[in-house]
Amino acid sequence: MSTVSELFRKSPFEPLRHHMDKVMECISLVKPLFEAVRDGDSETLDSIARATFKAEHQADLIKDEIRQTIPKSFFLPVYRGDLLGFLALQDDMADSVEDIAFLLTIKDLAMPSTLTADVFEYVEKILWVCQKEYEVSQELAALVESSFAGEDIERILAMVATVEKAEWEADRKQHELAKSLFALDKEMQATDIFLWFRVFGVLGELANEAEKAADRVRRMLAK
């Protein structure tokens, strides 16, 4: 019997937690990717990127197995479509990390020294959003065990609100960083400005996907 099948025997949410653990493995590589770019260490950057691609592929395999395994006739405490939608949003997060690794390695990209502090502040905000969403996702199985008790639901909804606020703050930082980036148009190549702008955008997409996943939890609890 597969690992996912065994997890379904425990709870319909356990396989999603298993998948999210692999997604977080991808996300844990985001900051090291930027550190390697900052340091101009192309060898380390390539190594971390390869690890990212591998982790994303493993997350895809888990996702596919969940989709194939989740029993249509199995009693679920939530709508099956919401469960699969939540899985897809988690997987989108891993996809975004893979996109970031790809963008940072398609050319020799230097991080502007005047933006370094702001870049890492932005990265930390994105990682904070993802961490908060991870904490929400880990609570799903516990909710089932408690039969969706009122106090637990209120606590989870408060956590979802925290994710939303963190994502909003990340959006603001992205806008500030983009303005600072384009202010360097006389000092940087246009291709580098475009590439950094795209990198910041995909980081923002990562936070958006985390916020959407948390919102999907709220939708599940409201039904």
CATH of 3-222, one of 3.30.70.260, 1.20.58.220, 2.60.40.420, 1.20.272.10: 1.20.58.220
**Nearest residue to 90 via CA among 217, 220, 2:** 217
Domain coordinates in residue numbering, the chain: 3-222
Plot region of 148 (φ>0 → left; ψ -120 to 50 → alpha; else → beta): left
What pLDDT, on the 0 to 100 scale, is given for residue 49? Answer: 98
Asked whether the predicted pLDDT for residue 3 surpasses 80, the reply is: no
Task: Kindly tell me if the per-residue pLDDT of 9 is higher than 60.
Answer: no
For range 200-222, the mean pLDDT: 91
Segment among 22-36, 39-53, 69-83, 122-136 with least mean pLDDT: 69-83
Rounded Cα distance, 97 and 52, in Å: 7
Distance CA 200, CA 115 (A): 12
- Render pLDDT for 126-175 as a digit per residue (tens, 0 to 9): 999 999 999 988 887 666 656 555 677 888 889 999 999 999 999 999 99
- What are the tens digits of pLDDT across the range 111-138? 999 999 999 999 999 999 999 999 988 8
Cα atoms in the 13 Å half-sphere on the side-chain side of 9: 6
Query: For residue 97, which of 151, 155, 49 has the smallest C-alpha distance?
Result: 49
In the predicted model, what is the mean pLDDT of residues 181-205?
96
Q: Indicate if the pLDDT at residue 75 is higher than 70.
A: no
Name which of 46-50, 60-64, 93-97 the model is least confident about: 60-64
Interval 24-51 mean pLDDT: 97
Confidence of residue 77 (pLDDT cuts 50, 70, 90): low
Categorize the per-residue pLDDT at 211 as very low, low, confident or very high, splitting at 50, 70 and 90: very high
